[in-house]
Structure 1
Amino acid sequence: MPIIIQPAEASHVLPITELVNLFAAENLMLPRTEESVRQTLADWLVAVDPDAQPDDPPILACGALVPLTETLVELRSLAVHPSQQGKGLGGHMVNHLVQMARERGYHQICALTLREQFFVRLGFEPVDRWSISPKVWQACIYCPKFHRCDEVAVIMNLVENPQAAVHPLARPAGWNTLLKWSEWQPLRLAYKQKQAQVQ
């Protein structure tokens, strides 16, 4: 079956929302609304079967980029339809999203995941999740697992020597540097930024 990975289109908004929320219902990722997908549609990729029949899933996989800083982007909402799992499609989606991040000029791409080894095999490295920009926690504070989060943060450098806006936290030898905000106070900053958005 030929599968094409392409930028999401307006007709994909509902299928993306349904696929993401299928896994969100199992607390495997954060839910999305149609409006939130529509507003960020340019940041989404989808996998489709050009020969799909009317009864086939409209999309087979999806994933998005979420900017955190000018040089750091998060890979989020990676979902593969149950009928396509175990076939390597998730890895192809990640590779396309990484390439998309490179083309947009980002220095690093990160993700929060329950499948650490999946991302490690694709070239990511584990990092301290508390060192990620507070912007990532604006969504996390609505997660039912926020206070007992079991996700692991992973990161990949997209350029040889990523330039940090501020000095990163000290890391053991061999760890990647991770762009971070100074005076890191995740909960206070995340709530403060959320409140500013609704005012």
Structure 2
Amino acid sequence: MRGNSAMTRNQLIRPATIADVPDIHRLVNTFARRNLMLPRVINDIYERVYEFIVLRTGRGRSARLVGCVALHPTWTGRPGDVMGEVRSLAVERSVQGRGYGRTLVSKAHETARALGISKLFALTYVPDFFVKLGYRIVPRESLPHKVWTECINCPFFMTCKETPVVCDLE
């Protein structure tokens, strides 16, 4: 993912850097405070900055981070079998509806393919968005148990309202 950026119409999509972490933290937790996604602590974002893709609009000093997504590889427990989790997808409310979310997910797909990951999943409060992008809703039990090793520590584990979706990239 490093060094792989694209610029179109005053927007830059690229791998996140350490300098992006405070903006990623702010954006993700803005949505988390409204119960639209899970919160992320800043040290976790610093430690996993390599998983994030960011979208900035504007140029130079006026450029601002308006979207992010993370691609988290998850080993299923079977040799050579890795799924990618699309997580922390957020687009600033003031620029929603411009295709930035779709662009970020598309970039995550491109990154997954480059890594050799052919199946993605997401746990989402907005399954319709992902269905429009080729994902399908699946039963929670169909995801590998390894996926739930992080979920067990979530404060919402017992009352989880996220919907699991999967996408085959092949």
Taking structure 2 as the reference length, the TM-score comes to 0.84
Counterpart of 2:82?
Answer: 71
| Contact 2:37 2:125 survives alignment (8 Å) | no
Could you list the runs of 5+ residues in structure 1 that have no partner in the other structure?
160-199
Mapped partners of 1:132, 1:75: distance in 2:
14
| Counterpart for residue 42 of structure 1 | 50
Partner deviation per Cα, 1:29-53 (whole Å, 9 max, x = no partner): 2211221111111111000024265
Map of 2:26 onto structure 1: 18
Paired positions, count: 157
Q: Is the 8 A contact 1:6 1:47 kept in 2?
A: yes
Runs of 4+ in 1 over 4 A off after TM superposition: none
Partner SS for 2:65: coil
Question: What's the C-alpha RMSD, in Å, of the aligned pairs?
Answer: 1.8
Whose radius of gyration is greater, 1 or 2?
A: 1
Q: How does 1:93-104 map to 2 (within 5 A)?
A: 93-104=104-115
Shift of 1:3: 1.1
The answer as to whether partners of 1:68 and 1:133 remain within 8 angstroms in 2 is no
Q: Aligned equivalents of 1:100 and 1:17: distance in 2? A: 22
Give the letter aligned to residue 68 of structure 1. T
Q: Residue 138 of structure 1: CA displacement?
A: 3.1
Q: Give me the identity figure in percent.
A: 38
Per the TM alignment, residue 135 of structure 1 is displaced from its structure 2 partner at its CA by 3.3
Note the alpha carbon deviations across 1:111-153, whole angstroms, 9 max, x for none.
0112112111111111112221233323323434322222211
Q: Which residue matches 2:122?
A: 111
Counterpart in the other structure of 1:185? none
Change (3 A) 1:133 1:52: farther
Structure 1 length normalisation: TM-score? 0.72
Deviations 1:70-91 (A, max 9, x none): 4211000000111111221111
Residue 60 of structure 1 is matched in structure 2 by 66
Instruction: Give the 3-state SS of the residue equivalent to 2:97 in structure 1.
Output: coil
What secondary structure sits across from 1:45 in the alignment?
strand
Q: Is the 8 A contact 1:24 1:30 kept in 2?
A: yes
User: What SS does structure 2 have at the residue aligned with 1:78?
Assistant: strand
Q: Give 5+ residue unaligned stretches, structure 2.
A: 1-8, 76-80
**Higher share of residues assigned strand:** 2
